[in-house]
Amino acid sequence: MSRSNIAQLILAAPAVLTAEKSFRRNPVIGSERLNQRGLHRRRVALAARMAERRRAALAPRLDPDERARFDRDGFVIRENALPPELLARVREELATRPLPAWEMRQGQTINRVLPLPRDRSALGELARFVHRPDVHTLIGYAAGRTGNVVTMLQTIAVDPASGESDPQAHLHADTFHPTAKFWLFLHDVGDDDGPFAYVPGSHRLTPERLAWEDAEARTATQSADPHHAAGSFRLTEDGLGRLGYGGLQRFPVPGNTLVVADTYGFHRRVESLRPTVRTSLYGVARRNPFAPWNGLDVRDLPFVRDRGMSIYLAGEDRRAKRGKKVVYANVGTILAGAEQQL
C-alpha cells in the first residue's frame, strides 16, 4: 500500500464515529476487508443502542400515546397540528407571497425548497412551529437525539410523463442509524397524490436486519445504485418479510397533518399517476449517532437556529457561480406551488 493510500485511510478513519454513511466516498467505511470483519455491523448495532438510551431519557417528556405509537411503528401521525386560524393565513400567504426557491429534479419529480422568512407573518409563525416543546421533543425522540432541526418549505411537483422514475419512490432507509424527518402537510394528500409510505416497525433493528446490513455493506461500493453505494440502502418489498417486518403502508392524510418518522425505517414516496403539486413544512434531524447526550447542539442556538438551509443554499449559489455541479439550482423568487421550473 502506497504512502498516499495510508494517509488517505488515516484521514478517513475518524468518520467511522460520526454520521458519515457513504461507502463510496469514505475508503474506511467502504472497505470490503473491514466490513467482512464487522465494521458496518458494529456501527449499526452501537448506534441503535445509543439511540435507545437517549430516547429513554426523553420518554417522560412525550405524550404517552404518541410515544407508544412511535415505539411500535416508527412514526407518529398527528392531525389538526396548527390552529385553524393560523392554517388559513399560511395557506393564503402560500398562494400570494413569492419566496426565493431552489429546485432539484429526481426523475419525474421536482423537489423545491424555500427557506422560511424570519418575520411576524403567518409563514414566520409556521417556521417557529418546530420550536414548540412538544414538537421539538417528538422529532428528537424519532431521531434518537434532540438538537437542531433543519426546517423549510418543501414543494413536491410530479409529472409522470416528464422523466424516469423518482429514486425516492424506491423503498429505502436514509442511513445506518435513527434519524428523523417530518412533514406538516398543508393541504390534503389523497391516495393518488403520491402519499408517504412506511413499513411499520422497520425502525427496530431485528437480528435479520442486522445480518442483512452486514451483507449489504460488504458489496455496497460496487452497487450500480448510487444511493445504495452512498449508504441509503435500497430493498424490494418482497424482501421485508425476511428481515422480520410486515408490509408497506401508505398514508393519505388531510391537510394540517403532522407526520414524524424515523427514516432508518424503510419508507418511500408513492409514485403519483397524475400531475400533482403539494407543499409542506418539512424538516430533517440528523446528528452524530454515537454521542451519549441529547441537546447541546451549537446549531440550535438562537442566533444560528433556522438559518441552516439558507446557509446551505447560499453555498450552492456560490458553487454554481464557479461553474460547479450543485444539488439545488436557484430558480428565483416564485410561489411555493408554481409550476415546475427545471
* pLDDT tens digit sequence for 16-55: 999 999 999 999 999 999 999 999 999 999 999 999 999 9
Reply yes or no on whether the pLDDT at 271 is more than 90: no
* Mean pLDDT taken over the chain: 95
Task: Tell me the mean pLDDT in the region 119-138.
Answer: 97
CA distances in angstroms from 127 to 48, 117, 311, listed in the order given: 30, 8, 16
What pLDDT score does 340 carry? Answer: 60
- The reply to whether 322 falls in a domain is no
- The reply to whether 327 falls in a domain is no
What pLDDT score does 5 carry? Answer: 76
Is residue 289 within 8 Å of 178, Cβ to Cβ? yes
Alpha helix (H) residue ranges in 108-242: 122-127, 133-143, 207-219, 226-229
CATH number at residue 30: 2.60.120.620
* pLDDT tens digit sequence for 146-158: 999 999 999 999 9
Domain of 99 in residue numbering reads as: 16-305
Question: 156: closest CA among 276, 271, 255?
Answer: 276
- The reply to whether 142 falls in a domain is yes
Reply yes or no on whether the pLDDT at 240 is more than 70: yes
- The reply to whether 324 falls in a domain is no
Reply yes or no on whether the pLDDT at 141 is more than 90: yes
Q: Is 92 left (phi over 0), alpha (psi -120 to 50) or beta?
A: alpha
What pLDDT score does 303 carry? Answer: 84
Task: Tell me the mean pLDDT in the region 102-127.
Answer: 95
Burial of 163 (0-12, 13-18, 19+ CB in 10 A): middle
The number of folded domains in the chain is 1
- The reply to whether 331 falls in a domain is no
Task: Tell me the mean pLDDT in the region 209-216.
Answer: 98
Reply yes or no on whether the pLDDT at 59 is more than 60: yes
Vertex 119 angle, CA 117 and 121, to 5°: 90
Name the more confident of 221 and 4.
221
pLDDT tier for residue 260 given thresholds of 50, 70 and 90:
very high
- The reply to whether 69 falls in a domain is yes
Between CA 311 and CA 309 the distance in angstroms is 5
pLDDT tier for residue 272 given thresholds of 50, 70 and 90:
confident
Between CA 72 and CA 18 the distance in angstroms is 27
- The reply to whether 342 falls in a domain is no
* pLDDT tens digit sequence for 40-51: 999 999 999 999
- The reply to whether 340 falls in a domain is no
What pLDDT score does 253 carry? Answer: 97
pLDDT tier for residue 161 given thresholds of 50, 70 and 90:
confident
What pLDDT score does 120 carry? Answer: 95
pLDDT tier for residue 8 given thresholds of 50, 70 and 90:
confident
